[in-house]
Amino acid sequence: MFANMLAYKCLSYGKKLIRVNSKYTSQTCNVCGSVNNRMGYNTYGWLKVREWDCPECGTHLDRDVNATINIKETGLAVGLA
């Protein structure tokens, strides 16, 4: 429903809507590209893990900021293809 509404708005403003597969966007380090599948879950589950350190490059990452960067980079890559 939201995607349909967004597509309509993009069309009316002459913008291109690019949908990105959200799989691993928050678990992939935006610095080195490694997927952190060793993190596991805390007591409240994966969604409660707000910050993590990349086991490959050591970068300290905010979950939401990291996911936002990954979504932006993926969208730009798809949009430019």
Site residues, Zn ion (CB under 5 A): 29, 31-32, 54, 56-57, 59
For residues 22 and 59, which CB has a smaller minimum distance to Zn ion in the complex?
59
For residues 10 and 32, which CB has a smaller minimum distance to Zn ion in the complex?
32
Report the first-to-last Cα separation within the chain, whole angstroms. Answer: 27
Residue 29 to residues 10, 18, 26, 52: CA-CA distances in angstroms?
A: 29, 21, 8, 10
Nearest distance from C-beta of residue 57 to Zn ion, angstroms: 3
Instruction: Give backbone dihedrals phi and psi of 9, rounded to 5 degrees, phi first.
Output: -65, -40
Nearest distance from C-beta of residue 34 to Zn ion, angstroms: 5
For residues 58 and 79, which CB has a smaller minimum distance to Zn ion in the complex?
58
